[in-house]
Amino acid sequence: GGGGGGGGGGGGGAEGEAGGKRPAMLYLHGGGLIFGDARQDDAFVRSVVKRLGITVASVQYRCAPQHPFPTPLDDAEEAFIWLAAQPSVDPERVVICGNSAGGNLAAALCQRLHARGAAVRPCFQVLTYPMLDNRSAEGSGPHDDKFRIWDRASNALGWGHYLQGCDWADPPPFSVPARADDTSGLPPAWIGVGDLDLFYPECDAYARRLRIAGVEADLVRVGGAYHGFETVDPEA
């Protein structure tokens, strides 16, 4: 199975609430759905634990091409259910956070759990330049030469491996979050993305769709920033 990975608890302000249970965060790393590791963002995970005093679990989900959709999403769901069931965790206050490909899985898991009417669901979704729409892997655009770290060719590779065996134009539910029929009832969202990121248009469109559906969605546009900018310049 998936699950597992780095993370840990920490002291701090949340103790004593809800019968000693505290908030938690499930973290899903980036890597285009084809690579990456639960420990690659340890510095970020540790900073969250230190600053907020909450439990954080980083998921070692399996990746395409060996494990295409829905395996990575299934692993994320298994990890979320596990984290929410921990004795020290308040299941009503579990945030899901995903970076790039992890943002895809975070958004998709919120959709899947809502559609299923799951008893326990994320209370909030934090999506950092999430990979939401396979249509951004198609064709070309006027700014293609400006994309750094993750360009249209990289995107086509990642989506192609993840959706292998699926209908590209009509992919299965929860595989491509931007193509969901209904986005109502989802947890509030924070979406952060640079305006030089290939994913900026799809992130902006998804935030608008959430708001139209009555979901609180905060889109933070970072001027002059490209995909993965904070991994190159941690002070950004």
Is the pLDDT at 50 greater than 70, yes or no? yes
| 176 within domain boundaries | yes
Task: Report pLDDT for 150.
Answer: 60
Q: Note whether residue 15 is domain-resident.
A: yes
Mean pLDDT of the chain: 88
pLDDT of residue 229: 56
The single residue of 100, 114, 161, 175 carrying the catalytic annotation is 100
pLDDT at 122: 99
Report the C-alpha gap between 62 and 111 in whole angstroms: 20
Question: Worst-scoring range by mean pLDDT, 5-14, 147-156, 157-166?
Answer: 5-14
Can 136 be counted among the known catalytic residues? no
pLDDT for the residue 16: 44
The answer, yes or no, to whether residue 22 has pLDDT greater than 60, is yes
Q: Where are the beta strands (DSSP E) in 61-144?
A: 89-99, 124-128
Whether 1 is covered by a domain: the verdict is no
Q: Based on the structure, what is the number of domains in the chain? A: 1
- Most confident range (mean pLDDT) of 35-44, 73-82, 189-198 is 73-82
> Would you say residue 205 lies in a domain?
yes
From the candidates 29, 114, 161, 227, give the one annotated as an active-site residue: 227
Tell me the CATH number at 86.
3.40.50.1820
Q: Is residue 147 classed as helix, strand or coil in its secondary structure?
A: coil
114 is catalytic: no
Q: Sort strands 55-58 and 7-8 into parallel, antiparallel or unpaired.
A: antiparallel
Asked if residue 2 belongs to a domain, the reply is no
Query: Which domain covers residue 88, as residue numbers?
Result: 7-232
The reported pTM is 0.88
Asked if the structure places residue 60 within a domain, the reply is yes
| Rounded Cα distance, 19 and 15, in Å | 9
CB neighbour list of residue 75: distance below 8 Å, 6 or more residues apart: 1, 2, 3, 59, 60, 61, 62
Tokens read off for 101: 């490909």
Q: Is the peptide bond before 201 cis (omega within 30 degrees of 0)?
A: no
pLDDT at 226: 56
Residue 58 lies in a domain: yes
Q: What's the helix, strand, coil split of the chain in %, to 5?
A: 35, 15, 50
